[in-house]
């Protein structure tokens, strides 16, 4: 049994998974210590009940997984046997430029309120997106998932080596490329109908194409009792094994020790009178970009390491959500609105209003109340909602009760979007993932960086230091739990010598039990 002292900073799914895999591989539980800055584990997997008697969770962070994500699907299905519910986000209608129309009518140039060029008209929003991507990468449909006989690896190899106008795709900004292949009106139509500022923004074009084409394959599911179940089960297994999980314990400072046989690091945990010192043979930073940047800035011994330089390759993206409860699911009575949500689907509508996306999450069986994610916004829309908080967002709260003025605004936007007078909600909640300690809802690779080369290097950014980085931020599947787990698994195999888990090869594509 390995006795090497490993300290893991970060109690999100990547940090918990790292500790769990080490224990299962024979590492002594007593020599593993996990530090979490907050008062709960799970990171950006956070499920809450809007009412104490509610059975319908509000997913403040991650919501869905699919059967082509082998690590998260394998953990949920093969390891912990958590209850899965099949789900298909079902776009219903859009309210764009003051006009309401069904998603199917996007292809009707007489209805769509955008001036598309003749070669862009008559296409669904999905087909228009693929038209743009085919113009960037003309042979893309010869590869998986368009060609079932192909593989993800073959698709990645093509995209990584393909050049557009002499430049690798990874050297382009995605918005720059979109401007080269479709009209600005088409780009705005796509951005608005998907209702996300960041997906069609100027991030690394290669990774944007991978996200749109490759990450959307597979059948989609949600955890019936909340996505937070996954990190909670990992944490329970660790506590049962004897691993220390220290909440409210932020890693504040890292000092490198001069050693031949002793510990590599002295770590300052906490601040003020409660601060303490611990030592570690290895340090794992399973953290988002913001806390890593702050840690490097406070730690002179890290400022000259290659880690500091690699931090420039990604950026954190602001994102927020607003959840509302209603006495009745009023949206089912809207004549040309979402109507009755079909079984195993999440109804979702889109708008260019600041609320951006609206998810009709269903009716709680216990209370009979309707639950809506009334806003899922990113980019500049986050600033709009943050300023409506009681403190104008100055207090830096991550999660808060929705202010009266914010309720008035979201009720007004819902009414405008649906063409009905939306009743007052019975409860409201606001989550701003751009606040500390997370700094963003997810991360994007910047143009000009080869993510497939940098991501593996983060397993040990400095060969001279036993310091390791993992998590969603520096993964090749940013924005997904699978990215966080994949980054951790790469690090564990490469730097800790672990073999791939036996359940991994049996997980992808296996259907959940009836």
**Pairing, β 251-256 against β 244-246:** unpaired
- pLDDT given for residue 369 in this prediction: 84
- pLDDT given for residue 54 in this prediction: 64
Structural domain spans, the chain: 6-44+228-316+444-506, 103-219, 319-432
- pLDDT given for residue 368 in this prediction: 80
Residue 405 phi/psi, 5-degree rounding, is -70, -35
Tens digit of each residue's pLDDT, the chain (514 residues) = 667 899 999 999 999 999 999 999 999 999 999 999 999 999 999 999 887 666 678 999 999 999 999 999 999 999 999 999 988 777 688 999 999 999 999 999 999 999 999 999 999 999 999 999 999 999 999 999 999 999 999 999 999 999 999 999 999 999 999 999 999 999 999 999 999 999 999 999 999 999 999 988 789 999 999 999 999 999 999 999 999 999 999 999 999 998 666 789 999 999 888 899 999 999 999 999 999 999 999 999 999 899 999 999 999 999 999 999 999 889 888 877 676 566 666 788 999 999 999 999 888 777 788 899 999 999 999 999 999 998 888 888 899 999 999 999 999 999 999 999 999 999 999 999 999 999 999 999 999 999 999 999 999 999 989 999 999 999 999 999 999 999 999 999 999 999 999 998 764 444 444 3
Which residues, other chains included, contact 357 with Cβ-Cβ below 8 Å and sequence gap of 6+?
195, 196, 348, 349, 350, 351, 373, 375, 376, 377
For residues 267 and 277, the answer to whether their CB atoms sit within 8 Å is yes
For residues 474 and 307, the answer to whether their CB atoms sit within 8 Å is no
- pLDDT given for residue 506 in this prediction: 60
CA distances from 462 to 6, 155, 263, 306, 432 (A): 17, 30, 17, 6, 33
CA distances from 152 to 23, 145, 163, 215, 286 (A): 31, 7, 19, 10, 26
Q: Considering the domain delimited by 103-219, tell me its CATH architecture.
A: Orthogonal Bundle (1.10)
| Whole-number Å distance between alpha carbons of 64 and 78 | 17
| Whole-number Å distance between alpha carbons of 56 and 510 | 26
Q: What is the DSSP string of 331-374?
A: GGG-TTS--SPPTTEEEEEEESSTT-EEEEEEE-TTT--EEEEE
Q: Considering the domain delimited by 6-44+228-316+444-506, tell me its CATH architecture.
A: 3-Layer(bba) Sandwich (3.50)
- pLDDT given for residue 395 in this prediction: 82
Classify burial at 98, counting beta carbons within 10 Å of its beta carbon; exposed 0-12, middle 13-18, buried 19 or more: exposed
User: Quick one: fold of 319-432?
Assistant: Polyamine Oxidase; Chain A, domain 2 (3.90.660)
Task: Tell me: cis bond preceding 437? Omega within 30 of 0 counts.
Answer: yes
Q: What is the pTM for the complete model shown?
A: 0.95
Place of tokens 């979007």: 417
């Amino acid at each position: 049994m390995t006795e090497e002292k490993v300290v893991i900073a970060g109690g999100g799914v990547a940090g918990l998974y790292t500790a769990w895999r080490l224990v299962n591989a024979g590492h002594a539980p007593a020599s593993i210590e996990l530090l979490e800055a907050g008062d709960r584990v799970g990171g950006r997997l956070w499920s809450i009940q809007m009412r104490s008697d509610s059975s319908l969770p509000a997913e403040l962070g991650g919501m869905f997984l699919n059967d082509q994500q082998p690590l998260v699907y394998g953990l949920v299905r093969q390891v912990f046997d958590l209850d899965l519910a099949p789900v298909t986000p079902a776009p219903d209608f859009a309210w764009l430029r003051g006009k309401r129309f069904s998603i199917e009518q996007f292809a009707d140039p007489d209805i769509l309120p955008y001036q598309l060029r003749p070669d862009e008209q008559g296409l669904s929003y999905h087909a228009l997106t693929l038209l743009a991507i085919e113009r960037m990468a003309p042979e893309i449909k010869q590869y998986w998932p368009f060609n079932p006989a192909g593989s993800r690896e073959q698709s990645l190899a093509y995209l990584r080596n393909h050049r557009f106008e002499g430049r690798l795709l990874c050297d382009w900004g995605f918005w720059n490329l979109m401007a080269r292949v479709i009209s600005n009106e088409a780009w705005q139509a796509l951005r608005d109908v998907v209702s996300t500022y960041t997906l069609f923004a100027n991030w690394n074009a290669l990774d944007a194409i991978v996200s749109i084409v490759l990450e959307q394959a597979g059948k989609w599911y949600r955890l019936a009792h909340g996505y937070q179940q996954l990190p909670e089960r990992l944490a329970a297994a660790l506590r049962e094994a004897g691993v220390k999980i220290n909440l409210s314990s932020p890693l504040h400072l890292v000092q490198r020790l001069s050693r031949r046989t002793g510990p590599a690091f002295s770590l300052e945990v906490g601040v003020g009178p409660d601060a303490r010192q611990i030592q570690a043979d290895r340090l794992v930073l399973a953290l988002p970009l913001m806390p890593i940047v702050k840690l490097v800035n406070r730690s002179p011994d890290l400022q000259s390491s290659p880690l500091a330089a690699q931090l420039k390759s990604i950026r954190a993206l602001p994102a927020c959500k607003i959840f509302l409860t209603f006495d009745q699911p009023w949206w089912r009575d809207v004549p040309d609105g979402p109507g009755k949500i079909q079984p195993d689907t999440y109804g979702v509508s889109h708008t260019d209003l600041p609320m951006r996306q609206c998810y009709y999450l269903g009716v709680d069986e216990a209370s009979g109340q309707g639950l809506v994610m009334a806003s899922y916004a990113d980019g500049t829309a986050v600033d709009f909602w943050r300023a409506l908080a009681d403190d104008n967002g100055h207090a830096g709260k991550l999660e808060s009760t929705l202010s009266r003025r914010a309720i008035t605004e979201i009720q007004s936007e819902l009414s405008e979007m649906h063409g009905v007078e939306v009743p007052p909600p019975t409860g409201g909640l606001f989550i701003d993932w751009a606040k500390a300690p997370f700094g963003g809802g997810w991360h994007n690779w910047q143009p000009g960086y080869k993510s497939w080369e940098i991501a593996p290097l983060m397993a040990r950014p400095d060969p001279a230091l036993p310091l390791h980085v993992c998590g969603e931020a520096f993964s090749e599947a940013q924005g997904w739990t699978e990215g966080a787990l994949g980054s951790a698994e790469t690090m564990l195999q490469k730097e800790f010598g672990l073999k791939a888990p036996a359940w991994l090869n049996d997980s992808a594509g296996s259907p959940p039990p009836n």
